A = this chain, B = another copy of it.
């Protein structure tokens, strides 16, 4: 049994890679909605049947192209926060803060997605992943006040993504450090506001 058997057929790898590369290349010129399957297979120099052998629609191809980026996002989140430049409020914050570094790293790709109006596929993917990660953190430290784990996880995940999408649409005029600062400031603000109203 060779080690190659667990991987895909080399022909499949090559075809898929060519298709992804072509899609991203065309996305730099055309809006995603305007790109046809014929466009993709022509620049990839492949038969149209080859596309349909592996994918149903171009969105599915894009999804696979995003996979690598998502993997890095997860790594960023899991990576322990070493440099203590700013005051850390909680472990949740320290993890999510790292994500801004990841987005900055892939800012070109993210911008491309925004420009092509395919932000929403990405949005779902990212929020789903963030939610899973938050859920894992939550299960370690049991919840007070009868908080619903799924709800707070979605709350946190989408809140973070809200800041990220705002950042992307601003064409990255802020630094990752500034984004991290802002997240901390917002969490502090919630704290201050609540204690003010409660006393």
Question: Which A residues fall within an 8 A CB radius of B?
Answer: 33, 57, 88-90, 119-121, 123-124, 127, 131, 143-148, 150-163, 165-167, 170, 174, 179, 182-183, 185-195, 197-198
Residue of A131, A143, A147 ringed by the most chain B CB atoms within 10 A: A147
Which of B127, B155, B192 has a CB less than 8 Å from the CB of A186? B155
Cross-chain contact A165 with B158 (CB below 8 angstroms) = yes
Query: Does more than half of chain A's interface fall in helix, strand or loop, or is it mixed?
Result: helix
Centre residue among A145, A159, A162 by max chain B CB count within 10 A: A162
**Which residues from B are CB-within-8-Å of A162?**
127, 131, 154-159, 161
List B contacts of A131 (CB < 8 A).
162
Q: Given that A120-B121, A120-B123, A197-B89 are known contacts, is A154 also in contact with B165, CB under 8 Å in the complex? A: yes
The answer on a CB contact under 8 Å between A170 and B150 is: yes
Give Cα A186 to B144, complex, Å.
10
